[in-house]
Structure 1
Amino acid sequence: MASSIMGRAVNNMRCLILLLAGLVTCAMGSSSRDLFAMSKWAEQQGIVMHESLEWKRYNDDPLDEDSNWGLELKEPVPPGTTLLQVPRNLVLDADSIGEEFQVRDGQEKLSLALEQLGDFGIHKEGFFIFLKLLRCSKESEDSQWAPWIQALPKKFPDFTTAEKECLPFYAKYAADYQDKKFQTFCHAAATLGELKESDPLDMETAKWAFHAVGSRCWKTAPINKDDGEAPNTELVPVGDMFNHREPPNVAITHDGGSVNFVYKGN
């Protein structure tokens, strides 16, 4: 009895940080997620993980190459504990990526691509990160972020046409909206030469990047609120594995040199 109670207590103390789900859309090849290489890369890049964090696999199916991986606390820590620190130079933030593509392609060409977004221009920050993921996937092993890209899920949930027809009105509207946004992102990316819409492999990769942006990015609070700085959209390597739950149990803070993930408690 005592051991059973202790076992339940230990399980209750463990804080589930993430549960990643992958269902339909595959876009990054058939190789499995390489968490070992990503962990080694993270250490080399100066990413600091709290010693109480451990990787956990949530799917024991050996035939599933896209196993659900997450981060879990192996022992309790007090609220306010910094679980993860990611150097600023590793963060994919929309403002910096926009400047990068402006320098590379020129303002005129970038403006033409942004015009292609039309009403979806309100999502241009997500579009910039979408472009960056496309570029990273093209660069493959030459990309600075290659080990992290390889550790991302290869599959994301996606509705079939038949499934969408069965959705309630507002849910179907939201799904249709995402489909139109994806098509628009692809048109705009093609303007910059980042993909060919006639190439099935390019479109498969684009679908993967689109879902990665939609499920793993967030709006950040400005670092200098007093300066009137607007929030920005960013995707943080390793940090993107947090807050896949409701309510979120990790707060995201900035200190200029890094992005920090602070435990709020359950």
Structure 2
Amino acid sequence: MWYTNEDALDSIAIGAGILGTGGGGNPYTGKLRAKEVLKHNGPVGVVPLNELSDNEAVVCVGGIGSPTCDVEKLRGLESYHALKAIESYSQVQATALICNEIGGGNSFEAMIAASSAGLNVVDGDGMGRAFPELQMKTFFIYGAPFVPMSLCDEKGNVIYITEALNAKWVERLARAATIQMGCVAAYALNPMSGEQIRNTAVPGTLSLTRRIGEAVRKARQKHEDPVEAILRTHPGKILFEGKITDLERQTTGGFARGRVKI
């Protein structure tokens, strides 16, 4: 187990931006929020999957909405309130938290809620990167329950989704509610056992974001190519190179959609 600190958060933000491939919200604002919470509550322990006992109660928390709105309407402790809401509904006390996706600002949501609740976070997530919809999580692909789910906004509204046909319908219902909440909200999923997490989560992704971020920072300090530093840290391939000449973004259907010209 290792513990977060300001230096680790700086590296995680860079790595999360890279693994997020443009999704998951702004890692910079996520990092600032995490630093503020950890400054008041102390560091968070990051626990490997293989150190989880079978009887753990691990809750996945994350943000939902449009990243374009998230930049202007910053989240507070909505993920923590979503955690307390799902604990209240399920009558199960969480023993650890896990990221919904390891990309962008969402990489920090579990950390923020965990610091507020005095819990550790699991070194893993449900995607291995950022994907746009809930049903794309490995938890659900490998059979973990997708309900109940709690959804909270900054006003104090709490919504529970207790029954749904499948995870896709949970996504559709939660997305519709999030739009009414101003396109920025946070959620918590039904507690999962340590065995379920070991069998369904993508392992080691928080550590990976940290290593990638550290590699980029060191490369910049030495005036070296950060892309080459990333490829030395984690397998990858350069598909093409170019210069961004135009970027168009719009918020539609609770998502940020756009087009980039290279």
TM-score range with shorter-chain normalisation?
A: under 0.3
TM-score normalised to the size of structure 2? Answer: 0.25
Greater percentage in strand: 2
Question: TM-score if structure 1 supplies the norm length?
Answer: 0.25
Structure index of larger Rg: 1
